[in-house]
């Protein structure tokens, strides 16, 4: 999947996935049309 922008957040998600430390829930908050669903 190609993600444009949100580089720091994307790297964080990859890091926790590789470490097999995914939390039960993640909260994506922000204004409309910022890419929350896409992440």
Total number of domains in the chain: 1
Q: What is the pLDDT of residue 18?
A: 97
Domain range spanning residue 18? 1-39
Rounded CA-CA distance 27/6 in Å is 15
Amino acid 11: pLDDT:
92
Rounded Cα distance, 10 and 3, in Å? 8
| More confident site: 1 or 8 | 8
pLDDT for the residue 6: 80
Structure confidence by residue, pLDDT tens digits, 3-39: 677 888 889 999 999 999 999 999 988 889 877 887 6
Kindly report the pTM of this predicted structure.
0.65
**CA separation, residue 23 to residues 4, 18, 29 (Å):** 24, 13, 16
Note the pLDDT of residue 4.
Answer: 72
């Amino acid at each position: 999947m190609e993600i444009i922008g949100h580089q720091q957040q994307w790297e964080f998600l990859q890091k926790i996935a590789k470490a097999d430390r995914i939390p039960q829930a993640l909260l994506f908050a922000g204004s409309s049309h910022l890419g929350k669903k896409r992440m």
